[in-house]
């Protein structure tokens, strides 16, 4: 199940399981009730909005239920408690990173012409990572890392870590084919990602009023990053 949160210029997709813990035990293998799915999606959307806006402590179950137009019991029946709801939302967002890693980075490995594929990948990478909702989620996870250390580590492994791993696999394949010179594919992946994202993502994380650069500027940043990357990793 996917819940989307849409703003004027961004979308945050959250994938959570189709049924809550109690409902799953009660229904067994039966198809979930469509009304229960709608309620669950409404809770996810309301909770994500409130967590991003008010933080974990500032978003109460009462507020989440009211915003979702459901009862507190519905929230508890579907998610058990606020901590579990927060955990499912954070990990549900990793579906976006998994899609990026599997689809976009996977396409790089199969590209007939690697250089244009790198430019396209860099542009998509910076655009996806600097979406306002994604930046706010990163801030939230960092702010709650001391409270949820295992969750923060898992998010890092399944989101930015997953992308770096996929890039490393792709660069290893391209090195074997002689299309890049990357004897240390993991280091090459880190260099690529930080050349593309580094300064822009840092600015977005630490200056909430800075806003996301326009698309044309993001493209220029991505293109400059690829040129710098190829200066180090293009085959001789």
Please name which of 86, 7, 79, 76 lies closest in space to residue 54, comparing C-alpha atoms.
86
What is the distance between the terminal CA atoms of the chain, rounded to a whole angstrom?
48
pLDDT beyond 70 at 29:
no
**pTM, two decimal places:** 0.81
* Domains located in the chain, CATH noted: 2-90 (1.10.10.60), 94-233 (1.10.357.10)
Sole residue written with tokens 């306002």: 132
Cα distances (Å, whole numbers) of residue 143 to 26, 46, 82, 108, 157: 36, 20, 17, 34, 17
pLDDT beyond 70 at 4:
no
pLDDT beyond 50 at 57:
yes
Identify the pLDDT of residue 141: 94
pLDDT tens profile 159-188 = 999 999 999 999 999 999 999 999 999 999
pLDDT tens profile 132-162 = 888 999 999 999 999 999 999 999 999 999 9
Torsion of CA 172, 114, 99, 193, to 10 degrees: 70
Which pLDDT band holds residue 99 (cuts at 50, 70, 90)? confident
Task: Give the integer Cα–Cα distance in Å for 76 and 209.
Answer: 36
Identify the pLDDT of residue 10: 42
Cα distances (Å, whole numbers) of residue 158 to 32, 148, 197: 27, 15, 18
pLDDT tens profile 182-222 = 999 999 999 999 999 999 999 999 988 888 899 999 999 99
Q: Are 48 and 29 in contact (CB under 8 A)?
A: no
């Amino acid at each position: 199940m996917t819940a989307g949160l849409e703003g004027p210029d961004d979308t945050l997709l959250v994938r959570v399981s189709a049924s809550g813990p109690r409902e799953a035990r009660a229904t067994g293998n039966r198809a979930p009730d469509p009304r229960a799915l709608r309620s669950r999606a409404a809770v996810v959307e309301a909770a994500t909005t409130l967590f991003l806006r008010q933080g974990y402590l500032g978003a109460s179950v009462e507020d989440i239920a009211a915003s979702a137009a459901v009862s507190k019991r519905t929230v508890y029946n579907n998610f058990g408690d606020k901590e579990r709801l927060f955990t499912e939302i954070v990990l549900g967002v990793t579906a976006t990173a998994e899609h990026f890693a599997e689809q976009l980075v996977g396409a790089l490995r199969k590209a007939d012409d690697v250089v244009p594929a790198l430019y396209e990948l860099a542009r998509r990478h910076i655009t996806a990572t600097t979406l306002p909702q994604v930046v706010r989620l990163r801030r939230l996870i960092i702010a709650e890392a001391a409270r949820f250390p295992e969750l923060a580590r898992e998010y890092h492994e399944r989101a930015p870590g997953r992308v770096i791993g996929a890039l490393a696999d792709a660069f290893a394949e391209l090195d074997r084919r002689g299309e890049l010179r990357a004897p240390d594919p993991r280091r090459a992946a880190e260099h690529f990602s930080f050349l593309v994202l580094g300064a822009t993502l840092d600015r977005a994380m630490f200056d909430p009023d800075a806003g996301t650069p326009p698309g044309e500027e993001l493209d220029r940043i991505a293109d400059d990053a690829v040129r710098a990357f190829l200066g180090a990793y293009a085959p001789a």
